[in-house]
Chain A
Amino acid sequence: MLWFLVRRIVAAVPILIFVAVFIFMLLHLAPGDPAAVAAGPNASPQQVELLRQRMQLDMPLPDQFMRWVANLARFDLGVSIFSNQPVSRLIGQRLEPTLLLAVTAMLVAVAIAVPAGTLAAWKADSLLDRVVMMFAVAGFSTPVFVTAYGLIYVFSIELGWFPVQGYTPLAQGILDCLQGLVLPSLALGFVFAALIARVVRATMLEILAEDYIRTARAKGLATPTIVIVHALKNAGVPTMTVIGIGFAILVGGVVVTETIFNIPGLGRLTTDAILRRDYPVVQGVILAFSAMLIVVNILVDLSYALFDPRVRNA
């Protein structure tokens, strides 16, 4: 187990190096440059040019890259060109909302998807099954911003149950924090629920057809017990896989959701930074995201062991 973990972590290093180089090149090939944005819309052309020189943006690319890498090696992500704040601090400030949103969305998704998928498999080919599966396809066919605006309209504006926007840090009250997260995580969770429901159903069907389930049935165990005790346990592995894959998609959804609900998370930090060419921030956050994805995938692999005794014993 430990060996496996070490191997996975070592394998992640070249991936992160690739990401670092790739993002650096991509950004520095860009036509826009931060000096023009930083100087402000009313700055004079001469001022923009002087600022560009001062920001050392006219330094040769390889030199800029080496400087960045040298800092990276000391775990220093640099400082934002604009706010002068350390990138690590900016990421730290944004981590909580994004992680919480991702986790709550995932919980919403699993809470909807596992029962729905199980039910659909249990009553395979029935009307219920078809309705559930149609909803599933419709669920991931609807872009998250469509769902989000629908939810805001109904639950915030018409009913006034939840705030329209904003984020309350966990430290200022768990309830307030969760209340603000309900709509965003629902919007994001639906897409996901749809994906997971399909997988749960497919896996359950396969398992229900296996011999030991038939044996259990023959022994006279009631079907719900079989489904819950035996089958659902085995559906864990594929479900975890989707969650792993899904995490990458979740990140995409997070960007949109954070914009709509005004949640100060990592997604918005990145898009803002891209739009104003705040190189150190974009590079830092994308690296952080990549690291996060890699960690999640390792965790998913570890969880296989939990769910599947065959893997555990191997």
Chain B
Amino acid sequence: MTGRMKRFAATCLGLGLALMLQPAVAETVLRVKLDGELKEIDPIWTSNYTVRDHAYMVYDTLFAMDDKYNVQPQMVDRHAVSEDGKTYTLTLRDGLKWHDGTPVTARDCIASLKRWGKRDGLGQQMMARLERFEQVDDKTFRIVMKENWSLVLPALGKISSTVPFMMPERLANTDAFDQVKEPIGSGPFKMKIDEWVPGSKIVYVKNQEYVPRKEPPSNAAGGKVAKVERIEWLVMPDPVTAVNALANGEIDYLATVPPDLTGLVAKNKNVKLQVVNLLGKQVQVVPNHLNPPFDNVKVRQALQLALKQEDYMQAMFGKQTEFYQVCAAVFFCGTKFATDIGSERVLKQDFAAAKALLKEAGYDGTPIVLLHATDLPEQNLWGQVGAESLRKAGFVVNDVTSDWATVASRRASKKPIAEGGWHLFHTGWAGPDMLDPAVNVLVSGGCVEKAWFGWPCDAELERLRAAFASTSDPAEQKKIADLVQARAHEIVTFVPMGQFRQLTGYRANISGVLTAPVPFMWNIAKN
């Protein structure tokens, strides 16, 4: 080595050491992998859960649901309801600011609610009964309803999609079917749109000007205190990669650890596993009431008898029975409306009885078009399990496999099979969206015009749901909810295929992870 080279080498070494010894950057960065991939940024424009998770960082809500599923004020400081129950007066908290620095005003909130009311199911119901919005001053506004509708606050405090998130008026005036161009909210984190690499990385920084509530956090309610300076949400399409990244500390938080892979990180001392989403999700099979043979209630009942929840759950969880439960409650097990009324066929697999019903209904062996998405691992499992059970029960199955995009488009078709229609598809709804007859679209009987995909048409169901919305007596509501479930299972608007929870994994130096049905990022600290 010549002298010069030696000097050069020494310099390099020195530089390297200096770099290594440099204290870690003061800013705490939380690296997370949430479910799905953020493709859009407007939580009103799409009902996608991934966008909802993103939106909870950026936006704030007027009201929010606490641990007990009760609605609490969030951006709202005080609220009052008039004697006749028709007028709600809401006053905003002090010090609320949009990410662009302008103050949050009542005008902004009214505009946001109007836009949300064009897209959300419950929002549409609310707007139909709305007399007018009234701006009182910069921080106060009134919601005047035409009738005493008990769901105003539950709608405003809706925890899951589509959540009435608040945006500045200039953005909220965007057509409800166009996306807002900027992610400007008033939530505890700001999205750095210039650092967004779609399909790869989404970056948020702490909103230094956010004024959290004083109450401790409880679900979506209470104080939303950002305890990290920066959040990097990494997109990893491959679940194994994500689990390995968590094990190696390349990410700090993994919203869902696939059940079969929990073993990989269970023994890792640096990783904690916890059921964060206590409510969980449910798998559903949805029949199309428009297309024969599923226009016949007997055939739909045969469908209930053909399928078995344990099959679906075992396919996902194997022997880890602690993560799932067999449950026929349409409003979710473990909630106030949970019941097993009318669930005889739902919980019992009986091929002989199914075949008998099919025969009685005169099923002629028409191939059943099952929409089956193969690019989403869970959907792919459900499709395979479902097709197999249906065959055993005497159905002829046309297992139509495609990507999710095709399934999503085709299920919107009301046409006969020959013209691109369908018979069955699988879906998975999360607990908060199924809690009662008002939010749960799967128990709608609103026919072709108003019902969800599958278009069940049932006057009785619609009558019951209207009755539910017009009462605020808990006992009465419970009674109606029971009737709705009995009716839904009788005419088979859908078949519940099991309820499950999944584990969330995070590094041992992470604290303050909230148990909630949505992966909230506030309150999480990193040491």
Q: Do chains A and B touch in the complex (CB under 8 A)?
A: yes
A32 touching B405 by the CB < 8 A rule? yes
Asked if B408 and A36 sit within 8 Å, CB to CB, the answer is yes
A264-B200 in contact (CB<8A): yes
A165 pairs with B245, CB closer than 8 A: yes
Q: Does B285 contact A (CB under 8 A)?
A: no
Residues of B contacting A45 in the complex (Cβ-Cβ under 8 angstroms) = 412, 414, 452-453, 455
Q: Do residues B178 and A54 form an inter-chain contact, with CB atoms below 8 A? A: yes
Determine, out of A185-193, A255-263, A301-309, the stretch whose residues face the partner at the interface: A255-263
13 A-B contacts, Cβ less than 8 Å apart? A41-B408, A41-B428, A42-B49, A42-B441, A45-B453, A55-B177, A82-B40, A83-B40, A84-B40, A85-B198, A264-B200, A275-B375, A275-B405
Q: A31-B410, A43-B46, A264-B200 are in contact. Are A164 and B244 (CB under 8 A)?
A: yes
Closest chain A residue, CB of each to CB of B409: A36
A273, closest chain B residue (CB): B199
B472 within 8 A of A: no
Contact, CB under 8 Å: B405 / A276:
yes
B366 an interface residue at 8 Å Cβ cutoff? no
Give min CB distance, A257 to chain B, whole Å: 12
Q: How far is the CA of A33 from the CA of B375 in the complex (A)?
A: 16
Scan residues 264-293 of chain A and give those whose CB is less than 8 A from a CB of chain B: 264, 268-269, 272, 275-277
Least distance between B447 CB and chain A CB atoms (Å): 11
Set B48, B161, B412, B433: member contacting A48, Cβ < 8 A: B412
Whether A163 pairs with B248 at a CB distance below 8 angstroms is yes
- B-side contacts of A83, CB under 8 Å: 39-41, 196, 198
A80 CB within 8 Å of chain B:
yes
For the complex, give the distance between the alpha carbons of A249 and B408 in Å: 32
A44 at the interface (CB under 8 A from B): yes
Asked whether any CB of chain A lies closer than 8 Å to the CB of B138, the reply is no
Q: Are A40 and B250 in contact (CB under 8 A)?
A: no
A160 to chain B, nearest CB (A): 8
Q: A32-B408, A43-B47 are in contact. Are A164 and B119 (CB under 8 A)?
A: no
A32: chain B residues within 8 A (beta carbon): 402-403, 405-410
Interface segment among B235-243, B268-276, B494-502: the answer is B235-243
- What's the least CB distance linking A28 to chain B, in Å? 13
> Cα distance A48–B407 when bound, in Å?
13
Residues of A within 8 A of B412 (CB): 36, 45, 48-49
Bound complex: CA of A32 vs CA of B420, how far in Å?
12
Main secondary structure of the interface of B (DSSP, over half): loop
Which residues of B have CB within 8 Å of A225?
none
7 A-B pairs with the lowest CB-CB distances in the bound complex, closest first: A264-B200, A32-B405, A40-B47, A54-B177, A40-B48, A36-B408, A164-B244
User: Do residues A165 and B236 form an inter-chain contact, with CB atoms below 8 A?
Assistant: yes
Q: Is residue A103 contacting chain B, with contact meaning CB distance below 8 A?
A: no
How many Å lie between the Cα of A164 and that of B420 in the bound state? 43
Q: Using an 8 Å CB-CB cutoff, how does the interface string of B196-219 with A read, 1 for contact, 0 for none?
A: 111111000000000000000000
Q: Mark A51-67, 1 if CB is under 8 A from B, else 0.
A: 10111000000000000
Min Cβ gap A207→B in Å is 39
Is residue B427 contacting chain A, with contact meaning CB distance below 8 A?
yes
Contact of A38 with B by CB under 8 A = yes
Q: In the complex, what residue of chain B is closest to A268 when comparing beta carbons? A: B199
Please indicate the chain A residues that have their CB under 8 angstroms from the CB of B520 in the complex. none
Q: Is the CB of A37 within 8 A of B241?
A: no
B454 closest partner in A (C-beta) = A45
User: Is the Cβ of A44 less than 8 Å from the Cβ of B41?
Assistant: no
Asked whether B148 is an interface residue with its Cβ less than 8 Å from the other chain, the reply is no
Is the pair B441, A277 in contact by a Cβ cutoff of 8 Å? Answer: no
A31 and B403 alpha carbons, distance in the complex (Å): 10
Encode contact with B along A16-49: 1 for CB under 8 Å, 0 otherwise: 0000000000000011111111111111111111
Known contacts A41-B47, A82-B40, then 4 further A-B pairs from the complex at CB < 8 Å, ordered by chain A residue: A35-B409, A40-B47, A44-B121, A164-B250
Whole-angstrom distance from the CB of A50 to the nearest CB of chain B?
Answer: 6
A261–B241 contact, CB under 8 A? Answer: yes
> Looking at the complex, which one of B40, B49, B181 makes contact with A38 (CB distance below 8 Å)?
B40
Complex alpha-carbon distance, A46 and B47, angstroms: 13
- Residues of chain A with a CB closer than 8 A to B414's CB: 45
The answer to whether B409 touches A164, judged by C-beta atoms less than 8 angstroms apart, is no
**Within the complex, what minimum Cβ distance (angstroms) separates B414 from chain A?**
8
- Distance in angstroms between the alpha carbons of A133 and B8 in the assembled complex: 43
The chain B residue sitting closest to A260, CB to CB, is: B238
Residues of A within 8 A of B198 (CB): 80, 82-83, 85, 90, 93
Residue of B nearest to A42 (CB): B47
Contact B405 A40 (CB under 8 A): no
Hey, which chain A residues are within 8 Å of B241, CB to CB? 164-165, 260-262
Q: Which residues of B sit under 8 angstroms from A54, Cβ to Cβ? A: 175, 177-178
CA distance A2 to B49 in the complex (A): 55
B119 contact set on A, CB distance < 8 A? 47
B1-60 interface (Cβ within 8 A of A): 37, 39-41, 45-49, 51
B88 within 8 A of A: no
Are B404 and A38 in touch, CB under 8 angstroms?
no
Give A48 to B235 CA distance when docked, in angstroms.
Answer: 26
Judged by a CB distance under 8 angstroms, whether A5 is at the interface is no
For B420, the chain A residues whose CB sits under 8 A away are 31
B179 close to A (CB within 8 Å): yes
Shortest CB distance B56–A (Å):
16
Bound complex: CA A38 to CA B51 (Å): 11
Which residues of B sit under 8 angstroms from A51, Cβ to Cβ?
A: 45, 177
With contact pairs A85-B198, A262-B241, A272-B37 given, residues A36 and B429 touching in the complex (Cβ less than 8 Å): no
Give the CA-CA distance A163 to B248 in the complex, in Å: 8
Is A234 in the interface zone, CB < 8 Å from B?
A: no
Residues on the B chain within 8 Å of A147, using CB: none
- The proximity string for A residues 64-99 relative to B, scoring 1 for CB distances below 8 Å and 0 otherwise, is 000000000000000010111100001001100000
**8 Å CB contact of A165 from B41, B250, B402:** B250
Q: Determine whether A156 belongs to the interface, using a CB cutoff of 8 Å to chain B.
A: yes
Compute how far the CA of A277 lies from the CA of B406 in the bound complex, rounded to whole angstroms. 9
Interface membership of A166, Cβ < 8 A = yes
A84 to B236, CA, bound (A): 21
A50 cross-chain contacts in B, Cβ below 8 A: 177
Binary interface encoding of chain A residues 136-161 relative to chain B, with 1 for a CB under 8 A from any of its CBs, else 0: 00000000000000001000110010
Instruction: Give the nearest-CB partner of A277 in chain B.
Output: B405
In the complex the two chains form, what is the Cα distance from A232 to B396 in whole Å?
65
Shortest Cβ gap from A190 to chain B (Å): 20
Among residues of B, the one whose C-beta sits closest to the C-beta of A47 is: B119
What is the distance, in angstroms, from B53's C-beta to the closest C-beta of chain A?
A: 12
Measured between beta carbons, the chain B residues less than 8 angstroms from A164 are: 241, 244-245, 248, 250
Distance between Cα atoms of A180 and B236 in the complex (Å): 15
CA distance A36 to B428 in the complex (A): 16
Q: Mark B391-434, 1 if CB is under 8 A from A, else 0.
A: 00000000000111111111110100000100000011100010
Residues of A within 8 Å of B121, CB to CB, are 44
B229-256 contacts to A, CB under 8 A, are 234-238, 241, 244-245, 248, 250
B80 to chain A, nearest CB (A): 33
Contact with B along A181-205 (1 / 0, CB 8 A): 0000000000000000000000000
Residue of B nearest to A45 (CB): B412
- Give every chain A residue within 8 A of B245 (Cβ-Cβ): 164-166
Contacts A36-B412, A41-B408, A163-B250; A262 near B181 (Cβ below 8 A): no
